[in-house]
Amino acid sequence: MPIAPVDSARRRLLAGGLLSAAAWPLGALAAEPWPSRPVRFIVPFPPGGPVDTTARIASQRLSEIWKTPTLIDNRAGAGGTVGATVAAKEAPDGYSLFVGAIHHSVNPSLMGKLPYDIEKDFAPVSFAAVFPVFVVANAAVPANSIAELIALAKKPGSQLSFGSSGNGGGTHLAGELFNMEAGTKLLHVPYKGSAPAMNDLLGGQVQLMFSDAPTALPHIRSGRIKVLGVASPQRSAMLPSVPTVAESGLPGYEAYSWAALFAPARTPQPVLDRINADFNTAFNDPAVRQRLLEAGAEADPGTQEALRQRLHSEMVKWAKVIKTAGITVS
């Protein structure tokens, strides 16, 4: 029996049906709930540091919330730029997240042109944690408060110096901001890391440090150095009796290191909303907050817009400090 010809209308219907059938798996895949596979956290620093520790505490709790594995991918190098460059090129699907830090608000002014734009190539998810900076002094320094330190530094012939973990780092910038706002001329002495700087503070080779909590706390508690103030906007739960720099002689001053969570730009908004909500749940968990505190971090989650504004504010602030102090890195 001869096969009846297919008229053009039926041909269009058949073709449409075949196309729909062919497209069905892609549509089903697009509708797949997030997360349905492991989520990777790209950390642009080596294992063991405060940003890495914060990421590991967060990822462990989020893995429990999401009921899916989470992975830490350390991509260290060039002050956090290596990891940021990798993260900026990842697919915007929510399965590769980036743990940024204060370095990423500083690097555009400190290093010039970068292979990524922290504001354009990333979508903010949530601020994560603050790492308090304590203003500490060698026990022999005749100052017991920020007001006394400023007065001492302004005395004719005063030659106070502060050590830092290196040029352009957070502890260096905190000291330069102090000079700008207090009108002092503390001499900066850069070291290759916080530990050697602390060793020289203990030995009296430098008189001051704007130190991260993990480096300073053991020596504060042992009485080998004295703490004059905490540079954060609020007092630290680590040492709640220590006043802020702002309330003890230098109103408006604040400096701290931080970590925050980002995703590649163009990550779907529903996915960003889900990650933000779950991240806030994790970082408001008392057990998580305590673990962070023990690691020298204070949980500080929030909205996506709050992170966007905070990042921009930090970039403007530190650009001014870098320019005024003439900070360069080789």
Yes or no: is domain 39-130+257-325 CATH 3.40.190.150?
Answer: yes
215 with 124: CB under 8 angstroms? no
210 with 174: CB under 8 angstroms? yes
123 with 262: CB under 8 angstroms? yes
pTM as predicted: 0.88
Taking the C-alpha atoms of residue 293 and residue 236, their distance in angstroms, rounded to an integer, is: 10
CATH of domain 131-248: 3.40.190.10
Amino acid at 189: V
Taking the C-alpha atoms of residue 161 and residue 46, their distance in angstroms, rounded to an integer, is: 29
Write down the domain spans for the chain.
39-130+257-325, 131-248
Q: Tell me if domain 39-130+257-325 and domain 131-248 are identical in fold.
A: yes
Taking the C-alpha atoms of residue 170 and residue 54, their distance in angstroms, rounded to an integer, is: 17
pLDDT in tens, the chain (330 residues): 444 444 444 444 344 443 443 443 444 445 589 999 999 999 999 999 999 999 999 999 999 999 999 999 999 999 999 999 999 999 999 999 999 999 999 999 999 899 999 999 999 999 999 999 999 999 999 999 999 999 999 999 999 999 999 999 999 999 999 999 999 999 999 999 999 999 999 999 999 999 999 999 999 999 999 999 999 999 999 999 999 999 998 999 999 999 999 999 999 999 999 999 999 999 999 999 999 999 999 999 999 999 999 999 999 999 999 999 999 886
